[in-house]
Every structure is written in structure tokens, then in C-alpha cells.
Structure 1
Amino acid sequence: MGCTNCSSSNGLPKGCKNNGSCGVGGCGKMPVFDWLSNMQLPSDTHSTSYVEVRFKNGRKEFFHNKNRLSLHIGEAVVVETRPGFDVGIVSLHGELVRFQMRKRSIEPSEESIYSILRVANQHDLDMWHEQRERENQLMMETRSIARRLNLEMKVSDVEIQADGSKGIFFYTAEDRVDFRVLIKEMAAAFKLRVEMRQIGLRQEAARLGGIGSCGRELCCSTWLTDFRSVSTAAARYQQLSLNPQKLAGQCGKLKCCLNYELDSYIEEVKKFPDTNKKLKTKSGEAYFQKMDIFRGLIWYTIGKDSPVWYSLNYKDAAYIQAINEEGQQPDDLEQFAVKLENTETTSAYSNVVGQDDLSRFDKASSGNSRKKRNNNPRRTNKPASRGNRNPGKKN
């Protein structure tokens, strides 16, 4: 949700209207709208004391609000970690946290879930921003150390705790990497506890974010959490060109959006006849060329290399296959062909003053200039040099 949706007008909040605070925790990644915030709990039900806290690049964890602090979405809090403490942003609280924990198969227990210590003050925020400024420099130094050790890995992101005692280094690698020597050098150089966490290419794109070919922000960095496998069969069902440059996303894998409408395409393809079967007519056998699922059309040609294509309704093609099985053949496909209207429109634009002609930048050479150039006699006497313009005069 953008900030324009939550702007106020005449003192009244717009957008979610959640008492002036954003209902999805601001403009961070992977927001969740609290649709249970305005609902009252039954009298025999107690509100949960667990809170969802968001960290850098959409990483979220659950913490126990033991002290029953009055927290709001988008508020910075200091949370307990091992070791030290960290600063995060409250992204969700209330009964919806219980459903989120159940979705991620997290059992609420005192030992596995850390606590929220306090609301972050100015000193905590200053320490947090100071560590954030170090992250880019540490990432570049880690990459140089990995190259020096000839490790086939790519460090894509670094996250340092607010107290500076621990750093999480996210990396991608095709094979297993032995980074024991790397951790020793990093711990000695950075003076902190190092944790290496391997992520996939799609998780890397989700953390870093970006703009897709559709012009919108990446789905994996805004709302998509379930990374299902995508195969080239999804592109074939949707009659897409098998071009890797167009089908691949920023992660280098097939785009996740290929699965969004796949079920609808599969249901529509079931209505069409078998494209592997040839249509038998008295004028010859017809071969399948292509289909249009949206208009319900299918194209055939008499012979494989014929330039004449016949567009048939999928019901007519199924009818021809049915009578072929009974031993009957139509005369030709012309009687079943669907006449398509030409949707091309001719523009009434006319180039009046020649503004679209590239030759307007070229200066036309006139014949008079050539005559003047030819009439001028060539100079036979060279001018005297600067050092001796008057040879008869002695210094």
C-alpha cells in the first residue's frame, strides 16, 4: 500500500482508516492487512500476547509481549536475541498473529520464542542506523575475501543486529561451499559473530526487490510467499513463445506469474480436439498449425507446406474428427472456414511539411556555388612565413 492511500484529509485518515496508522505496517515488503483489527473477541477468549516483528528486506519473526506493552503497527521495538538485542518494526499484532503462527507451523512456547524488551528510544534507533550504514561496506569486503579464497559463492545481502554483536550474511551458491576459513577471517576483521545463511535465487530476488517486465514491483518481494515450481509446460499451454529471455525473471528462473492463469488455460484447452490427429478431407489431409484459445479458433492447412491457412471453430474441427472415425470425409475445409475481419486501420496522417523526412537535415548543394568555386583562380604564390615576411629587410 502506498503512502498516498494513507494520507489524511480534513483530519480524517484515508485508505485503511485504522485510526490514522497504516493497516499493513507502512510501505515495507510483504505487508499483511489486519482484517481482524475492528472485530471484538468473544467474552471467553483472551487476546494473544504474540507480536510479529519485521526486520530488513521482509524478514519476519514472532516475539512474546510479556510486559503487555501498548504497541502499534509501524512502531520500532527492541527485541531479545541470542546474543544481544535487535531493533525491528511491529508489522502485525492481535488475533491475526495466531493464524500467521499456525500457517508457519510455529507453536507458541516460552523457550523457542524470544520476548519484546521495550519500545525503542532515540539511543536505540541511533545504534540501529549506525549498524545499517556498515552493512554495504561489510558485504563488499566479504565478497573480496571470498574471491581471494576462490569460493564459488555470491554474498547478496548483509544484516547486522542493532547492538553490532552478530551479522547474518545471505549468499547463493550452486554447490556446497566450505566457508570455515571465510568465517574465521570475517570474525577477525569485523569483530562480530558471523552467521552464513544460504538462500535460493528466488529468495535472493525477493530480498533485493526490483521491477518486473510488467512494470510492477516483483511479486516475490510484495506478496508472494509460496514459491511453486514452474515448468515450460505452463508456457506451452498458454501458447507462448519459448524464449528464455522473455520467460525468465530477474532471478534467472521461469516467471512465477506463468502459473497464475495456467488452470484456466488447461480447462479451455480441454474443449479443443486432439491436435495430433489430422483432418481427412477429399482434397487432402489437413495438419494442425496453431490455436486461439480466447476466440475458440484452430488453424489447419491442406498439406504441411501449404501457404493457405483455414481457421475453423473448435467445434467444427471436433465434428470433422468424429465423422472421420466413422469413415466419412468432407469435400474440403472451405465450407467450415471462419471469415476473420481485418482489424487493421489506416491512418489519415499525411506528411505535409516534410517533418518526418530525414533528408531535411541534408543541405542541397546548388550549382551556383560550384561555378563560383571554379571561377576563383588558384593561388600560386604561397604566403610568406611569419618569421620572414619581408625578405629584403635585415634585422
Structure 2
Amino acid sequence: MAEIIGVRFKSVGKVYYFDPGELRVEKGARVIVETARGVECGEVAMGNRQIEDQKLSKPLKKVMRLASPEDLKKVHDNAAKEKQAFKVCEEKIAKHKLSMKLVDVEFTFDNNKILFYFTADGRVDFRELVKDLASVFRTRIELRQIGVRDEAKMLGGLGICGRPFCCSTFLGEFQPVSIKMAKEQGLSLNPTKISGTCGRLMCCLKYEQAAYDDLLRTTPKAGTPVRTKDGRGTVVEVNLLTGMLKVAPEKDSAAAKFYPKSEVRPIREGRGEGRQESRAEGRGAGRGEAAPEEPQEEK
């Protein structure tokens, strides 16, 4: 077992594990840690706890120290610098006539690097822009192209439900969402109704998918032959959430009725009920009872 703490560097970002050493850290505290891109100040999202060694992919870096008032002041000063850097970068983009949209600027805690996040329709040759920015800020410059979902997460906003974006309030990482989920949940396939502000499929389609997958495993699909208390029929409509099935009888398909799925038994042709009926007919014919003749088509 290893003792770890979870640290995130953005308000709604991925949580990274670090070794607290002898420190006892509470959730919400600020700590100084060393990351792949340099020294950073992060917020503790998960206090001290034990975790199995097998769940750790590599040795953890140790927490350097708890953030001091001077460290927090530096973080505040960096935020002010980011706003100024944003304006400068926009001016440089316009000067170089680049087809890109600046989304956010981020200073590392030790000011060794400035990251500029942008969106663009395709690849952008920003080599001259980097040189221009480096001559202004006298530090390492990194331009990082992001997608529209990341842009929505950074900027925030209100979704069509009237609530703040899920990605900017509590989703640490994006989950894959497919049009198949909308189909299985019986939603309208109109892109304007199932797409978020970012233009991609709404993240909330993923929330109930596990429940729908479970219901789909236990509910007959439309077109399935079934037996009800009123006889044989075919499922013509399914409501997964209520568990009600609309079944059309074999003899009168217009007289379809709704049944709870607990009162409906699927008929699997070639086995089960169909096989039992065949055996019954065979036994009757063997005892001297004539099996009914099949009507012959006229040629």
C-alpha cells in the first residue's frame, strides 16, 4: 500500500496523484509540487489515503511543501499577467494574420513557460508568432491547439438545460459519446437537440447509458415474436423506462395492446416453445391421430 494525495491544477481538471511524504494534507489546501512541465501550485482534491501499489503506474513525485502566503500571492500575480499576455497575443495574431482563435493563457508557477491555448479549423504555421511572443516575454512559449470541447470547458457557459456546462463544473475528463446512445435512449436525432453549445454530442447522453444497456438486455426488441396471456403476437413498440410493450396479436394486428414486460415471454424459434409444440404434434400423430394437412398452393 502507498499513501497518496490527489491534486488538480484547474478548478475542474484531472486529478493527479502525489506522494505527501510526512505531510498531512486536507482537501482544499494548496500545495507546491513538481510536474512534467515544472513547479506548479495545485489544490488538493483528495486528502491522504492509502492505495494499492498495483494501481500506480509509476513512482510518484513528492509534494515539495504546503503553499505559503507568498506562494499564493505569486499565483494571484500570475493571473494578472495572464490577462495582459492574452491581449498581447491577440495583437500579435492579428499582426501575423493567422486564422486562429485564442482561448486561454496560462503561466506556470515559476514563470518558466507560458502556454497559449487556441482553436483553429486546420493546421496553423505559428513559428513566427512564437518568436515574436518570446521576444516580448523573454521566456519559453508554447502554443497548444485544442478542440471545441476543451474550449467550452475553459470558457464555461449555460447549456440548453439552463444549467452551467457539465464539463466546466464537475467533469474532470471527457467521456466518449456516440449517436448510438441517442438512438437507444429514444431521443430525437435532430442535431440541434442532442448537441451541446460546443457543437458536439451532449456529454449527458453518457450518464444514463449504463441503465439503458441493462434494460436493453432484458427487454424484447420491436419485431420479436412473443406470447402473452392473450396468445401469440409480435412486439411493435417498446418503452424501456416504463417496461411496457405494445404487442400486436397474430390474428388481428390492428388490436395491439400494451403489456408489462414481466407478462410477456419471447418465443425463440427453433428451441423452447416452438420445439415443444413440434414434439406435441409428433406424439399425437404417432397415436393414430391425423396431423392437420398443410394447405397446398395451386400450381
TM-score w.r.t. the length of structure 1 is 0.52
Match of 1:249 in 2: 196
In the alignment, does 2:36 pair up with 1:90?
Answer: no
Distance in 2 (CA, whole Å) between partners of 1:93 and 1:227 is 24
Distance in 1 (CA, whole Å) between partners of 2:259 and 2:41 is 63
Counterpart residue identity of residue 189, structure 1 = V
Partner residue of 1:168 out of 115, 121, 125? 115
Match of 2:59 in 1: 108
Match of 2:292 in 1: none
Partner residue of 1:298 out of 242, 246, 251? 246
Structure scoring higher RCO (CA < 8 A, sep ≥ 6) equals: 2
| Residues 164-204 of structure 1: CA deviation (Å, up to 9, x unaligned) | 33222223344333322221112122333212334333333
In the TM superposition, what are the counterparts of 1:280-291 in structure 2 within 5 Å? 291=238
In the alignment, does 2:210 pair up with 1:259?
Answer: no
Distance in 2 (CA, whole Å) between partners of 1:125 and 1:231 is 42
| Residues 95-119 of structure 1: CA deviation (Å, up to 9, x unaligned) | 35x46x965x54115xxx3651x33
Distance in 1 (CA, whole Å) between partners of 2:69 and 2:31 is 11
| Residues 139-176 of structure 1: CA deviation (Å, up to 9, x unaligned) | 24323433443444333222212343322222334433
Whichever structure has more strand as a proportion of its residues is 2
CA contact (8 A) 2:99 2:124 kept: yes
* Structure whose alpha-carbon radius of gyration is higher: 1
Distance in 1 (CA, whole Å) between partners of 2:93 and 2:127 is 11
Match of 1:313 in 2: 259
CA contact (8 A) 2:20 2:48 kept: no
In the alignment, does 2:135 pair up with 1:184?
Answer: no
In the TM superposition, what are the counterparts of 1:209-248 in structure 2 within 5 Å? 209-225=156-172, 227-248=174-195
Match of 2:251 in 1: none
SS of equivalent to 2:26 = coil
- 1:129 Cα offset (Å): 0.7
Distance in 1 (CA, whole Å) between partners of 2:221 and 2:35 is 60
For these two proteins, the number of residue pairs brought into alignment is 262
Over 3 Å counting, the alpha-carbon distance change for 1:319 and 1:86 in structure 2 is closer
SS of equivalent to 1:229 = coil
Over 3 Å counting, the alpha-carbon distance change for 1:311 and 1:207 in structure 2 is farther
Distance in 1 (CA, whole Å) between partners of 2:153 and 2:66 is 29
Distance in 1 (CA, whole Å) between partners of 2:268 and 2:62 is 67
Distance in 2 (CA, whole Å) between partners of 1:319 and 1:75 is 58
In the TM superposition, what are the counterparts of 1:1-395 in structure 2 within 5 Å? 48=3, 50-59=4-13, 60-65=15-20, 68-80=22-34, 85-96=39-50, 98=51, 106-108=57-59, 113=61, 115-116=63-64, 118-225=65-172, 227-269=174-216, 275=222, 291-293=238-240, 294-298=242-246, 310-313=256-259
CA contact (8 A) 1:57 1:208 kept: no
- 1:51 Cα offset (Å): 4.0
CA contact (8 A) 1:272 1:318 kept: no
| Residues 223-269 of structure 1: CA deviation (Å, up to 9, x unaligned) | 44453322222112221111212211233211222233234334444
Over 3 Å counting, the alpha-carbon distance change for 1:132 and 1:299 in structure 2 is farther
Over 3 Å counting, the alpha-carbon distance change for 1:271 and 1:314 in structure 2 is farther
- 1:81 Cα offset (Å): 5.9
CA contact (8 A) 1:291 1:299 kept: no
Over 3 Å counting, the alpha-carbon distance change for 1:108 and 1:242 in structure 2 is same
Distance in 2 (CA, whole Å) between partners of 1:119 and 1:171 is 32
Counterpart residue identity of residue 259, structure 2 = N
Over 3 Å counting, the alpha-carbon distance change for 1:139 and 1:238 in structure 2 is same
Counterpart residue identity of residue 190, structure 2 = N
- 1:65 Cα offset (Å): 4.5
Distance in 2 (CA, whole Å) between partners of 1:156 and 1:313 is 54
CA contact (8 A) 1:54 1:91 kept: yes
Percent identity over paired residues: 35
CA contact (8 A) 2:12 2:170 kept: no
| Residues 295-331 of structure 1: CA deviation (Å, up to 9, x unaligned) | 514387xxxxxxx9955437799889999xx9xxxxx
Over 3 Å counting, the alpha-carbon distance change for 1:226 and 1:75 in structure 2 is closer
Over 3 Å counting, the alpha-carbon distance change for 1:82 and 1:193 in structure 2 is farther
Distance in 1 (CA, whole Å) between partners of 2:80 and 2:149 is 26
Query: What residue ranges of structure 2 are gaps of 5+ in the alignment?
Result: 226-232, 249-253, 278-299
Over 3 Å counting, the alpha-carbon distance change for 1:320 and 1:158 in structure 2 is same
